[in-house]
Amino acid sequence: MQARRAARELAFILFSQFDKKITNYSKENLDDIIIKSVRILSSSANDELKTALGTLIDMRNKIDDYEAEHEINLKRPIDAVNISVPIMMTGVMAQKVDEMIDVAEKALLALEIAEFVTLESQNEVKSYAIKIAQAFQQNHEDIDEQIQKYATGWDFDRLIKMDKDILRIAISELLYVKEAPMKVIVDEALELAKKYSTDDSASFINGILAKIIVDNGIKG
């Protein structure tokens, strides 16, 4: 995982922790929330891995039951060891495997971010996440006005909090931090939306960011 991508994930979790006006947070507050966010990520990874283990155990039990109840083994003596049988429908197996891949990827991502932040050599993750947060602190009124301006037909207060935070991160980078390519910022905002928000969030966020990019003449 690239450091900047990890920083955006961390910034998203950082933004979700804010429980008061953004300007009331000091640099020390942000550092404390970063630590809290890493603990949340580690806890989340632990939960995801437990879920993956539970899914694996469930899958193994289903395979054992399927084998034991297959007509080939039902005809064998009670004390005989079951023999292998043709596997269940590939679609069922594929779905179970996909579920395990999904939870494993989330757990791996959470652990990678936690590792990035705790390793001194990867301090770029923490510093870039804080840089995004501070850019939003200093320009939050303008950034939220931009969102309201382009969220045609939507009441700002009724927008999904996760969507607003993803937009706030992306707009902070596009207009104020200006250290990453525009395409990377947009693509990773859409990835955050797909991972954390609703099915329609990615297209909604993409539409708003596209208008901001055009109107502000952002290139590259």
**pLDDT tens digits along 14-43:** 888 776 677 777 888 888 887 777 777 777
Count Cα neighbours of 131 within 13 Å in the Cβ-side half-sphere.
18
Instruction: Give the pLDDT confidence score for residue 167 in this predicted structure.
Output: 97
Domain-embedded: residue 195 = yes
**pLDDT tens digits along 59-111:** 788 888 888 888 888 888 888 888 888 876 667 777 777 777 777 777 776 66
**CATH, residue 167:** 1.10.940.10
Domain that holds residue 89: 3-215
Domains contained in the chain, number? 1
121 pLDDT band, cuts 50/70/90, is very low
Domain-embedded: residue 49 = yes
Q: Please state the φ and ψ torsions of residue 81, each to the nearest 5 degrees.
A: -70, 135
Domain-embedded: residue 220 = no
Domain-embedded: residue 130 = yes
